[in-house]
């Protein structure tokens, strides 16, 4: 703890030591008329008095105010919602009517901290009704749906600014995926695709570059997503990781011609085993693993040939599917084992998608697209707060990239 922090703690402890807390009940401490609420009101009143001192340029009852042209003019009382419920405060007035308090602004009846609590609850996927019930139960405060909407609508400007922010010129890896969400249009629930672009920066940190809504997931819309990234400053992407959507690789190359494609191995295995009978499933997965876990591409191709010999009679489409996509599946063979998993699966973005699905599971449908953007932005912001460390073995990966991609990698 810093010296300043220690000093503040000492002052607070001294104040608490002066309070007579012996024998006080929980109700007397934290109830509707308890000590905590009274202290909150006193603290706010003191802060407002300090703001008035600053506004006038002199302290209360000071002779410096004589002939200054402005002075105090009593108080107006109001009730504000705090993090502990409601508090009655006295807002000082000045004769010229020029005083604009900052800690509790005019016409404002909720402290910023209370607004942040509403936004935090909303970001966890709680509905307006859930938030109303929670605030009533915890703080004994009644809030209207309109109030909650007004507080959360303030996020819209942050969403617009975030979605149009400038991006870095180069990203070593970008993961592209989509999740399904429901939005209401003309009174009907419409299932839409939320496109997400998650990048790994040169420092090895995850960064969501953007998200976009469309009625369906198709390669044409993905091209518009990538064009938006380019227009916001992205000039180069080394590797794009994605699922096997038809036309997806071509859409990436149309915008970033030099980008290498890595189809997600996990998606390939899932698609390959979709129609495999249960009694064959374990053996098919074992033989597929021999392909993508091979030490070299040549050995992987031999394993694929062996797979065909073993299973073409029952499941001929599996080998053909892997062979037809091989040029977009084989990128990871150029790298050592430690960094292959970073490239050949979309685990990074699937982990993010899991967080996004958690905030949508309580809602049958969002009222409109803006509501989807709002809650997804808050959920992404919350998830990204945990991304404090670079991904595992990133230094090794970056050095390998510099060998493979040469001058495109600026270490």
What string of DSSP letters covers 234-302? --EEEEEEE---TTHHHHHHHH-TT-EEEE-HHHHHHHHTTT--HHHHHHHHHHHHHHHT-SSHHHHHH
Report the chain's mean pLDDT, rounded to a whole number.
81
Q: What sign results for the dihedral spanned by CA atoms 48, 52, 57, 63?
A: negative
Q: CA angle at residue 209 from 112 to 366, to 5 degrees?
A: 60
d(CA 37, CA 139) in angstroms, rounded, equals 11
Short-list 285, 408, 287, 392, CA closest to 340:
392
- How does strand 170-185 pair with strand 188-200? antiparallel
The answer to whether residue 18 scores a pLDDT higher than 60 is no
pLDDT digits (tens, 9 = 90+) for 210-242: 999 988 888 889 999 999 999 999 999 999 998
pLDDT digits (tens, 9 = 90+) for 329-349: 998 898 877 678 778 777 778
Short-list 182, 230, 191, 185, CA closest to 210:
230
Report how far Cα 258 is from the mean position of its chain's Cα atoms.
30
Estimate the crossing angle of helix 316-324 against helix 297-311, to 10 degrees: 160
> What is the model's pLDDT at position 164?
93
Q: Average pLDDT, stretch 362-378? A: 79
Backbone φ and ψ of 364, nearest 5° = -70, -35
> What is the model's pLDDT at position 1?
42
Contact 195, 212 (CB under 8 A): yes
Backbone φ and ψ of 193, nearest 5° = -105, 130
d(CA 313, CA 317) in angstroms, rounded, equals 10
Contact 225, 251 (CB under 8 A): no
Q: Who has greater pLDDT, 158 or 20?
A: 158
Contact 98, 70 (CB under 8 A): yes
* Residue 408 CB coordination number (10 Å): 15
The answer to whether residue 140 scores a pLDDT higher than 70 is no
pLDDT digits (tens, 9 = 90+) for 31-80: 556 555 666 677 667 767 877 888 888 888 787 777 778 888 888 887 77
* Residue 298 CB coordination number (10 Å): 10
In eight-state DSSP terms, residue 213 is E
Q: Who has greater pLDDT, 411 or 288?
A: 288
pLDDT digits (tens, 9 = 90+) for 191-218: 888 999 999 999 999 999 999 998 888 8
The answer to whether residue 292 scores a pLDDT higher than 70 is yes
Q: CA–CA distance from 384 to each of 157, 164, 225, 280 (Å)? A: 19, 18, 21, 40
d(CA 113, CA 18) in angstroms, rounded, equals 27
Q: Who has greater pLDDT, 23 or 241?
A: 241
Listed ranges 104-113, 174-183, 186-195; the one with the highest mean pLDDT: 174-183
**Residue 336: strand pairing partners:** none
> What is the model's pLDDT at position 11?
47
Q: Average pLDDT, stretch 291-314? A: 95
The rounded percent of the chain whose pLDDT value lies above 70 is 76
pLDDT digits (tens, 9 = 90+) for 246-286: 889 999 999 999 999 999 888 899 899 998 999 999 999 99
Q: Average pLDDT, stretch 96-104? A: 78
Report how far Cα 237 is from the mean position of its chain's Cα atoms.
22
Q: CA–CA distance from 411 to each of 167, 233, 373, 397 (Å)? A: 18, 19, 35, 12
Beta strand extents in 244-397 (DSSP E only): 260-263
pLDDT digits (tens, 9 = 90+) for 104-138: 677 666 555 556 666 666 666 667 777 777 666 65
Residue burial 136-158, b: 16+ Cβ < 10 Å; e: rest: eeebebebeeebbeebbeebeee
């Amino acid at each position: 703890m810093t010296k300043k922090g220690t000093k503040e703690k000492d002052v607070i402890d001294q104040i608490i030591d002066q309070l007579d807390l012996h024998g006080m009940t929980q109700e007397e401490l934290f109830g509707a008329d308890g000590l905590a609420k009274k202290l909150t009101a006193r603290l706010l009143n003191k802060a407002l008095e300090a703001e008035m001192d600053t506004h006038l340029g002199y302290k209360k009852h000071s002779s410096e105010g004589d002939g200054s042209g402005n002075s105090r003019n009593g108080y107006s009382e109001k009730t504000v919602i705090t993090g502990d419920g409601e508090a009655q405060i006295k807002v000082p007035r000045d004769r010229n009517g020029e005083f604009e308090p900052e800690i509790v602004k005019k016409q404002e009846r909720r402290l910023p901290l209370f607004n942040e609590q509403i936004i935090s609850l909303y970001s966890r996927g709680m509905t307006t009704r859930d938030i109303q019930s929670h605030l009533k139960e915890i703080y004994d405060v009644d809030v209207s749906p309109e109030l909650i909407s007004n507080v959360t609508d303030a996020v819209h400007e942050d969403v617009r600014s975030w979605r149009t922010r400038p991006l870095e010129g180069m990203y070593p890896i970008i993961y592209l995926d989509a999740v399904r969400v429901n939005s209401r249009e003309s009174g009907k629930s419409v299932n839409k695709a939320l496109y997400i672009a998650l990048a790994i920066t040169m420092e090895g940190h995850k960064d969501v570059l953007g998200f976009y809504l469309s009625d369906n997931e198709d390669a044409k819309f993905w091209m518009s997503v990538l064009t938006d990234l380019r227009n916001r400053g992205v000039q180069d992407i080394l590797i794009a990781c994605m699922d096997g959507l038809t036309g997806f690789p071509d859409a990436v190359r149309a915008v970033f011609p030099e980008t290498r494609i890595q189809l997600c191995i996990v998606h390939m295995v899932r698609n390959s085993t979709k129609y495999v009978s249960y009694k064959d499933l374990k053996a098919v997965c074992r033989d597929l693993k021999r392909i993508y876990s091979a030490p070299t591409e040549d050995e992987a191709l031999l394993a694929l040939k062996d797979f065909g010999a073993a299973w073409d009679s029952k499941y001929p489409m599996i080998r053909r599917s892997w062979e037809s996509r091989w040029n977009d599946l084989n990128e990871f063979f150029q790298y050592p084992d430690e960094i292959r998993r970073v490239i050949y699966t979309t685990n990074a973005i699937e982990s993010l998608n899991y967080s996004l699905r958690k905030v949508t599971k309580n809602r049958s449908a969002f009222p409109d697209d803006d509501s989807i953007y709002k809650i997804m932005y808050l959920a992404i912001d919350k998830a990204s707060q945990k991304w404090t460390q670079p991904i595992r073995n990133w230094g090794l990966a970056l050095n390998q990239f510099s060998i493979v991609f040469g001058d495109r990698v600026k270490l």
